[in-house]
Amino acid sequence: MSDEMLEGFDVGDVIALTEEGTDEARDFRVMYIFDIEDRSYLVLVPVDQEEEEEYEVHFLRYDGTDMLQPIEDDEEWEQVEATFETLIAELEKEDGI
């Protein structure tokens, strides 16, 4: 992942996004950033759910601009979800969970 491409986002950053169908912005924390092939993805968790045992996870594609793109292709979604699950499994193994 090039530092130049992701200079706008770092793990731990809080960003405000307006969810589809509402006019209200909601704060999300960037929990992970990873690449699949030539694309980068952000894993976001709502700040108001961070301390909860279960929370929503949102994936957005980052194309190097200021815009985050939703993942609308089913195949791409499955690939991102599988990569995230592998990442979480590796982290849990490292932590001995």
Give the pTM. Answer: 0.80
What are φ and ψ of residue 87, in 5° steps? -60, -45
Q: Which residues of the chain have pLDDT under 70?
A: 1-7, 97
Position 4 scores a pLDDT of 39
Q: Which residues are CB-contacts of 19 (< 8 A; sequence separation ≥ 6)?
A: 26
Query: What would the two tokens of residue 69 be?
Result: 């793109």
Pairwise CA distance, residues 77 & 82, whole Å: 9
Q: At which residue do the structure tokens 């200079």 appear?
A: 7
Per-domain residue ranges of the chain: 14-95
User: Bridge-partner residues for 28, per DSSP?
Assistant: 15, 46
Position 18 scores a pLDDT of 85
